[in-house]
Structures are given as C-alpha cells and as structure tokens.
Amino acid sequence: MKSPDGRYAWTVTVGTKGQIVLPKEARELYDIKPGDTLIILGDKKKGMAIPPKSQFLAIFSKIFDME
C-alpha cells in the first residue's frame, strides 16, 4: 500500500518459528536480496523499525558511539 507522500505500510504474518516474509514491493523498494542482513531496532514504547540497509553503518555507529 502506498500513500501519496511516499510513505508505505504493509502487513506481514509471523510464522510458527517467529519468521516473517517481507512483502515483494518492500524488498524491491529497498533492494533487499536473499542473504542480506537486516537490523531490527526496537523501543518498548515506540515499537520496532527495520531501516534500509544503506543506513546500517550510520545507525550502528550512532548506537555504539563509533564515529
């Protein structure tokens, strides 16, 4: 589902092993390929986020104060 301002929302189902399948449109939009590593960020009050892999190093550096 795409909103007019370029923001997206999808639904996924969690399987019995805790796995989810990222929607094809999301994988294509963010160039996610089989074998890629994703980072999942979580905040107990705000929820979870899966940022684009292009942001991985920047986010990692900020979290672990490695500039």
- Report yes or no on 27 lying in a domain: no
pTM of the model: 0.68
Phi, psi of 2 (to 5 degrees): -120, 135
The C-alpha atoms of residue 30 and residue 16 are separated, in whole angstroms, by: 26
The C-alpha atoms of residue 43 and residue 31 are separated, in whole angstroms, by: 25
For 7-51, how does the pLDDT look when each residue is reduced to its tens digit (9 = 90+)?
A: 888 999 999 999 999 999 999 988 999 998 888 888 888 888 888
- Report yes or no on 58 lying in a domain: yes
- Report yes or no on 16 lying in a domain: no
Supply the pLDDT for residue 58.
Answer: 84
- Report yes or no on 23 lying in a domain: no
The C-alpha atoms of residue 56 and residue 37 are separated, in whole angstroms, by: 9
Number of compact structural domains in the chain: 1
Partners of 2 in the β-ladder: 8
User: Averaged over 52-66, what is the pLDDT?
Assistant: 78
Q: What's the number of CA atoms in the CB half-sphere (13 Å) around residue 6?
A: 1
- Report yes or no on 8 lying in a domain: no
Supply the pLDDT for residue 42.
Answer: 86
